[in-house]
Amino acid sequence: MSQDYHGFISRVKQLVGIDLSLYKEAQMKRRITSLRDKRGFNSFIAYFEALKQDKELLNEFIDRLTINVSEFYRNPKRWEVLQEKVLQHLIKDKKSLTIWSAACSTGEEPYSLAIMLKENFPDVQANILATDIDEKALDRAKQGIYKEQSLKDLPEIYKNKYFVQKNGLCYLDDQIKKMINFKSHNLLADRYPQNVDLIVCRNVLIYFTDEAKQNIYTNFSNALVQNGILFVGSTEQIFSPDEYNLSVYDTFFYERINQN
Ligand SMILES: C[S@@+](CC[C@H](N)C(=O)[O-])C[C@H]1O[C@@H](n2cnc3c(N)ncnc32)[C@H](O)[C@@H]1O
């Protein structure tokens, strides 16, 4: 059974370029097994043969791997700190910021950043890159259409100003959509952008093995400018940040510091 699974993940890597051995095994195996069983395959090999031939089955499989749940202003207290403290710190000596929302899913996170900057730092020129491994999530992000539930923590005033509500859905204003450059990027395989002032990477590191996380922290640290900030999810604190030339700036925020 375990051999069957390990053979499966190495074939999946060849087929779609996603290395599942870098994701926590128990959780990933459970998710994939339940989908495989639901589709009526009793071995991973048989399931893989079907994935190779059936595009829809493959899309469903990729969808299951990538957990796309997101919200505007997710964990609003942290977004307050971002606005009041972190962004103030970052713009102290500059008028333009390079920001990367990594694993942005369907766009709620980069759009929250865009709204925050436009409303509170209108003189700052913001280059916001938003990336994810999941092309379907990126397509939805570009559309900018959301269920009301995902806006529950967005300040009401912004909700009224930047969304049109129709048939129970919320349509984001084009001027905010235009502020984001969406791109496909695999955190486990692709080159990282450089000279970034702020990296927001939340609620994805929890899925990776410790080894994969360590590589990602190193890459993030190298991607940041001196004194740049990494903003992680609310269960994702880094245990020895100094190993990556990072220091705690505030809870769930890390600052890039000098190499020793
Ligand atoms: C739970 S969502 C997080 C969305 C957003 N950052 C937030 O906190 O609301 C996790 C996202 O990570 C993406 N993801 C998973 N593995 C990835 C990888 N190797 N590289 C880039 N993105 C990945 C998934 O496609 C999914 O959209």
Q: Which residue has the higher pLDDT, 108 or 258?
A: 108
Residue 159 CA to residue 162 CA, distance in Å, equals: 6
Average pLDDT over every residue of 208-224: 97
Ligand 1 pocket check: which of 13, 63, 66 to mutate, most ligand atoms within 8 Å of Cβ?
66
Sheet holding 169-172, edge to edge: 145-147, 169-172, 163-166
Q: What is the pLDDT of residues 243-259, one digit of tens each?
A: 999 999 999 999 999 86
68 pocket-lining for ligand 1 (C-beta < 6 Å): yes
28 pocket-lining for ligand 1 (C-beta < 6 Å): no
DSSP state of 179: T
Q: What is the pLDDT of residues 229-246, one digit of tens each?
A: 999 999 999 999 999 999
The answer to whether residues 256 and 244 touch, using CB atoms and an 8 Å cutoff, is: no
134 pocket-lining for ligand 1 (C-beta < 6 Å): yes
Helices 2-16 and 25-38: crossing angle in degrees, nearest 10, is: 90
pTM here is 0.95
